[in-house]
Amino acid sequence: MKEVRRNIWFIAAVFITLFVVLVVSLVYNTAIYGGRWVNSPYNPRLREQRALVTPGDILDRNGVTLATTDDQGNRIYNGRKAVRKAYCHVVGDAYGFCPTGAETFHASTLLGYNADILSQIRQVLLQEPVRGNDLTLTIDVELQTLAASQLGSQKGAIALINYKTGEILALASTPGFDPSAIEGAESIADFSSEDAVLINRATQGRYVPGSIFKVVTAIAALERAGISTTWEFACTGSIEVDGGVVTCSGVHGKVNLVEAFAQSCNTAFAALGLEVGGANMAAAAEKAGFNEDFMFQDLTLYSSRYEMNAYSDDYDLAWSAIGQSTDTVTPLHMAMLAGAVANGGIAKEPRLVVRSDTVTGFLRSTMTDQRYMSTATAQTIQEMMLETVASGTGKKAAVAGYEVAGKTGTAEVGGSKSPHAWFIGYVADSDHPLAIAVVVENGGGGGSVAAPIASAVFAEAIQSGY
């Protein structure tokens, strides 16, 4: 019986632990994911609320109205169709067809669902017409429109951020849709065509990175394998790995790490990746935000994937080191990576909303900035990226009067399709802390297609004073 008594306390302790886990999980999940759950396009409460409440306006950083509501209760978007199509994925639509847009993701702010109880009571008692809160975005609608027009009729995405604050200045995805026209659409099927117009390619598009991934390989080599910039490799145009062959864009001869990076030498980086090893590659990639489920406060960003590990075979590892194999990345994350290089290794949490001083404002001020690499590594990578634009594959990204750094990518997508054209980079000027990622689907060479777009967007942004 004594034994039984002792065991009874044990069982009680087990259950109390279980209930504590229950409470912790409830509180933690509510705090971390609660906002997303409430703002889900599937939440019928928001639809209910929308019938009772006039949603607030959505403005750009300069106060330009992106979305408002007229007297009849119709949602009105910007007057120019090109502008509407340029910002459609960022702003979203009133029906939640494009659920990553601010109209849905920030619905509880726009609908005042999180208004405090006193103002709710006042509104009921005085029968005031209820209006939600306005939302000011960090994007500049002019830059946004320019970015979209740079992509033109091609499919692709551009993410332009301020790497010191994390503010997103432009987040373009083409093809776009017209949020004003969605009302007439019979169903979501009218819009979700083969072109996937409802997808925000800048945050949800998972692309093969190609050579821009060499930034990560270089970080791994510098930080985890004790390799320095004097590391040398003789490129003969191809390298045999594990019975397979990794080919290069040319025969680069004897190159050091900086030259290999600037010339985007595949064989050198394949060999580098093998030397660094799968475990180090995976560790460096994960430190740089790969495989992470981003839980940003302002927007949804799909994760980039790097799936090699200590047990991967050499052939896959070699290809993964040059951004092929199973590597996939999202454009905004790549802009963050370029920004982290420029910012001494720190990637700022991307911000889409200009903070307002609400009572609950203190909750929003805690941003999760992350260190993607050490400051010393960042400085070395900066040299390599500057060299790439100065004399390497990224020359066309240059902006007159400013130092631009970057990395091009020409990502093979298999079959007879043209490769994706990539450019990631930044402006090396502390007055203009701009970082960018450009991807053009099946656009061709990164240096010839994506780099000039980056140059044009940078030039316009600098002109506008960012």
Q: What sections of 126-250 are H helices per DSSP?
A: 141-151, 201-204, 214-224
Please identify, using beta-carbon distances, which residue of 36 and 81 lies nearer to other proteins. Answer: 36
Radius of gyration over every alpha carbon of the chain, rounded to an integer in angstroms = 25
What's the Cα-to-Cα distance from 443 to each of 210, 261, 424, rounded to whole Å? 13, 22, 15
Report the candidate in 257, 168, 222, 219 with the shortest Cα–Cα distance to residue 372.
219
Please identify, among the stretches 5-13, 168-176, 349-357, 372-380, the one whose residues bind other proteins according to the rule CB under 8 A.
Answer: 5-13
Please identify, using beta-carbon distances, which residue of 25 and 391 lies nearer to other proteins. Answer: 25
E strand or H helix that includes residue 362: helix 361-364
Taking the complex as a whole, the smallest distance from the CB of residue 153 to other proteins amounts, in Å, to: 32
Does residue 226 bind other proteins (CB under 8 A)?
Answer: no
Please identify, among the stretches 1-9, 77-85, 364-372, 449-457, the one whose residues bind other proteins according to the rule CB under 8 A.
Answer: 1-9
Contact (CB, 8 A) for 123 and 53: no
Q: How far apart are the first and last CA of the chain?
A: 77
Report the candidate in 46, 42, 63 with the shortest Cα–Cα distance to residue 55.
46
Please identify, using beta-carbon distances, which residue of 23 and 400 lies nearer to other proteins. Answer: 23
Site for other proteins in 37-66 (CB under 8 A): 37-38, 40, 42-45, 48
Taking the complex as a whole, the smallest distance from the CB of residue 42 to other proteins amounts, in Å, to: 5
Please identify, using beta-carbon distances, which residue of 116 and 195 lies nearer to other proteins. Answer: 116
* Binds other proteins by CB under 8 A, chosen from 23, 118, 125, 400: 23
Please identify, among the stretches 26-34, 268-276, 307-315, 347-355, the one whose residues bind other proteins according to the rule CB under 8 A.
Answer: 26-34
Does residue 357 bind other proteins (CB under 8 A)?
Answer: no
Does residue 194 bind other proteins (CB under 8 A)?
Answer: no
Does residue 189 bind other proteins (CB under 8 A)?
Answer: no
Strand-strand pairing, 58-59 and 135-136: parallel
Distance CA 142, CA 83 (A): 8
Distance CA 280, CA 219 (A): 10
Does residue 192 bind other proteins (CB under 8 A)?
Answer: no
Contact (CB, 8 A) for 398 and 389: yes
Site for other proteins in 105-164 (CB under 8 A): 114, 117
- Binding residues vs other proteins (CB under 8 A): 1-5, 7-12, 14-16, 18-19, 21-23, 25-27, 29-30, 33-34, 37-38, 40, 42-45, 48, 114, 117
